[in-house]
Amino acid sequence: MPTSIKDECAIVGIGQTEFSKFSGRSELQVTLECVEAAIADAGIERSDIDGMVTLSIDGSDEIAVMRGLGSQELKFFSRVPHGIGGAMSLVHQAVMAISSGMCKTVLGYRALNGCSGNQPKASAVGGPLSTDQVHWGWYNPYGFSDPTSWVAMFTQRYMHEYGATAESLAEIALTMRKHAVNNPNAMFYDKPITSEDYFNSPFIAEPLRFYDCCMEADGGAAFVITSTERAKDLPHAPAVVRGVAQGAAADQEVMTSFYRDSITHLPEYDLVAKQCYEQSGLSADDIDAAVLYDAFTSIVLYQLESFGFCKRGEAHDFVKGGTLGLDGRLPCNTNGGQLSEAHLQGINGITEAVRIIRGTSVNQPKKNDHVLATSGFGVPSSAMILGQSR
């Protein structure tokens, strides 16, 4: 029995559509487009795909994708829960399936008309009484029903306990935007912002301002993953999975884990980090670049601390002075992130992490031996470390 999945599998293909406010087509079509692109990029046949995985909230069933691809059979399929927390869980599922011999090549995908379409709302009512509905029922009556406000609740306390200020958040917002300005596929391509723009922007939910928040988008992204052995015969430099993990921690809620002793760190991120480092034998010092889930600026701070780039409570100082920029200690979200490339619920983090390993990011960091990619905040989460083929 393997004790770690280190280096067993590699991401060999990536694909995505354009990111926009209005895709003008069905989510299934967007899915099929990015899936086709990923398969072509991997240099494999459609019939080589014998497993598929997506998020439980995705609107396109794997059997609909199968039919689109003309697939004869699938030996593995699954869904991972908790939306934004699930992006790297797709890799987790695929790695488990391949390295336990269940299938050979897995396609992961996620596409959404997140801006133009009818997205399922957290406040959804009607239907059978799910634990999820009961959960939202504790918050909706108070008008506390928007992701920005939930994240702001954590952020307020973080700032209070650690003396963090909006300066750190501005640093993150401006860095991500700077990266997006160079990325033709970003929604904010060529649309820079200044520090004044940041501080003059209105509050959405105090202490979070307009530029602390990502923008919803339409689009899709997909990846193909197979055994490292097989990856050697494929066209691109394989992005080898050194570690990949999921985590939910004690007293975990979805976005509202306010009942723990401390809400200024998230133990689910600690748990995910611990597993990634244990599996890979690496530490924060070995990570050259990162794609951190940044639907909101402040959540980057939590992740930097959990993944050990600085001590707890110190990330707001750590990020100052260009740390997350191309010449900083940890080039971060070189695609512009969820904040400024597009909010694709983190799936575009997988494609960018692979590009960094391949050396093909539009903002390519100088060093790219190991890249960390993480998933959403405040929910059961996931992360992976990719590395170069040896």
Cα-Cα-Cα-Cα dihedral sign, residues 292, 293, 299, 302: negative
Cα–Cα nearest to 323, from 362, 293, 365: 365
Rounded to a whole number of angstroms, the distance between the first and last alpha carbons of the chain is: 23
Cα–Cα nearest to 12, from 231, 174, 204: 231
Of 240-248, 285-293, 315-323, 364-372, the segment contacting other proteins by CB under 8 A is 240-248
Establish if 154 lies at the interface with other proteins (CB under 8 A): yes
Q: Provide, rounded to whole angstroms, the least separation between the CB of residue 219 and other proteins.
A: 17
Q: Cβ(67)–Cβ(356) under 8 Å?
A: no
Q: Please say which residue, 211 or 330, places its beta carbon nearer to other proteins.
A: 211
Placement of tokens 């971060």 in the chain: 332
Establish if 149 lies at the interface with other proteins (CB under 8 A): yes
In the region spanning residues 28 to 47, those forming contacts with other proteins, defined by CB under 8 A, are 28
Of 16-24, 124-132, 164-172, 351-359, the segment contacting other proteins by CB under 8 A is 124-132
Residue choice 40, 138, 165, 233 for contact with other proteins (CB under 8 A): 138
Establish if 141 lies at the interface with other proteins (CB under 8 A): yes
In the region spanning residues 214 to 233, those forming contacts with other proteins, defined by CB under 8 A, are 227, 229
Structure tokens at 103: 């299938």
In the region spanning residues 304 to 343, those forming contacts with other proteins, defined by CB under 8 A, are none
Q: Name the maximum alpha-carbon separation found in the chain.
A: 58
Q: Please say which residue, 298 or 323, places its beta carbon nearer to other proteins.
A: 298
**Cα separation of 328 and 324, whole Å?**
6
**Cα separation of 283 and 292, whole Å?**
16
Cα–Cα nearest to 38, from 52, 25, 24: 52
In the region spanning residues 272 to 311, those forming contacts with other proteins, defined by CB under 8 A, are 275, 279
Torsions phi, psi for 138 (to 5 deg): -80, -15
Residue choice 1, 285, 327, 390 for contact with other proteins (CB under 8 A): 1
Of 17-25, 155-163, 323-331, 343-351, the segment contacting other proteins by CB under 8 A is 155-163
Q: How many residues bind other proteins (CB under 8 A)?
A: 103
CA trace torsion 247, 251, 254, 259 (10° rounding): -140
Residues 6+ apart with CB under 8 A from 268: 247, 248, 249, 252, 379, 380, 381
Q: Please say which residue, 92 or 177, places its beta carbon nearer to other proteins.
A: 92
Of 15-23, 198-206, 302-310, 363-371, the segment contacting other proteins by CB under 8 A is 198-206
Establish if 252 lies at the interface with other proteins (CB under 8 A): yes
Placement of tokens 């200024």 in the chain: 264
Establish if 3 lies at the interface with other proteins (CB under 8 A): yes
Q: Provide, rounded to whole angstroms, the least separation between the CB of residue 318 and other proteins.
A: 22
For the chain, how many residues are written?
Answer: 390
In the region spanning residues 90 to 119, those forming contacts with other proteins, defined by CB under 8 A, are 92-93, 95-102, 117-118
Of 134-142, 164-172, 294-302, 328-336, the segment contacting other proteins by CB under 8 A is 134-142
Q: Please say which residue, 128 or 184, places its beta carbon nearer to other proteins.
A: 128
Q: Please say which residue, 21 or 329, places its beta carbon nearer to other proteins.
A: 21
Establish if 234 lies at the interface with other proteins (CB under 8 A): no
**Cα separation of 382 and 86, whole Å?**
6
Placement of tokens 């306010």 in the chain: 258
Cα-Cα-Cα-Cα dihedral sign, residues 188, 190, 196, 200: negative
Of 65-73, 297-305, 311-319, 351-359, the segment contacting other proteins by CB under 8 A is 65-73
